[in-house]
Amino acid sequence: MAGAVLEGAEGVLLDISGVLYDSGGDGGGVPIPGSREAVRKIKASGLKLQFCTNETQATRDKFVKKLQHLGFDIAVNEVTAPAPAVCRILKERKLRPHLLVHDDLIPKFADIDKTNPNCVVIGDAADNFSYKNLNDAFQILISLENPVLLSLGRGRYYKETDGLKLDVGAYMKALEYACDIQAEVVGKPAKMFFQSALTEMGIEPHQAIMIGDDIVNDVGGAQQCGMRAVQVRTGKYSRVAEYMAA
């Protein structure tokens, strides 16, 4: 990051997957060289720091523990993630979700009424994206008079240690098309999501810089919100760049 980029900045929002580490493998992922030091330096500089992730393969607690284990200086209250945000929405709008999410995320919805569902919540369900499970979600949506699909992000794919993996956005599109509806995205690039991270930090958009590897969800979303943004050349960026050069 050049000094000019930081001019007038009070805080930094950091994406996690593809910026701090590449997920996957037995150990749960591999830190990207220099990223642990970068987090320490940002904190030491006096800049405020909030991690802003669309990660929905685990609860925030479990996710943060994994990152701590990988050597990152990170705490649960420093992480803005979609699952707590969607739980607030479900309660406010009295929505009873059918969940199509990763097993590890299910405990997050323990105190939410899920009987007789009147909406579908879709997250990065990975292997839970079976034909049967997607069809179950579809059948619920198509049977509703006003189908509500809440999607924890709209990412196309992400990078794991063994290659690129389809993200929730692809499956969101499948359900949107099958039911002829538009999903409501909770998470990046939704404006409300970035704003909740800024509120957490107590700063205004023009005082913040978002750093991520996704040109649409990180960079585009933050800019739409009035923030500056930097795209790193790690994570999915590097992999696509490799393909382009091949």
Contact residues for a second copy, defined by CB under 8 A: 125-132, 134-135, 138-139, 142-143, 145, 156-157, 163-167, 169-171, 173-180, 240, 243, 246
* CB of 26 vs a second copy, minimal distance in Å: 18
User: Alpha-carbon distance 212 to 229, whole Å?
Assistant: 8
Quickly list H helices, the chain.
3-6, 35-45, 60-69, 82-92, 131-143, 168-179, 191-201, 221-224, 236-245
* CB of 81 vs a second copy, minimal distance in Å: 22
The helix-helix angle for 168-179 and 131-143 (nearest 10°) equals: 40
* Pairing of the two strands 97-100 and 184-186: unpaired
* CB of 91 vs a second copy, minimal distance in Å: 27
Of the two residues 68 and 139, which places its CB atom closer to a second copy in the complex? Answer: 139
User: Alpha-carbon distance 207 to 242, whole Å?
Assistant: 34
User: Alpha-carbon distance 64 to 40, whole Å?
Assistant: 16
Of the two residues 11 and 169, which places its CB atom closer to a second copy in the complex? Answer: 169
* CB of 117 vs a second copy, minimal distance in Å: 15
Of the two residues 62 and 165, which places its CB atom closer to a second copy in the complex? Answer: 165
Of the two residues 7 and 180, which places its CB atom closer to a second copy in the complex? Answer: 180
* CB of 243 vs a second copy, minimal distance in Å: 6
* CB of 217 vs a second copy, minimal distance in Å: 13
User: Alpha-carbon distance 35 to 31, whole Å?
Assistant: 7
- Residue in the structure block whose two tokens are 């990412």: 155
User: Alpha-carbon distance 51 to 64, whole Å?
Assistant: 10
Of the two residues 43 and 98, which places its CB atom closer to a second copy in the complex? Answer: 98
Which residue type occupies 174? A
Of the two residues 169 and 212, which places its CB atom closer to a second copy in the complex? Answer: 169
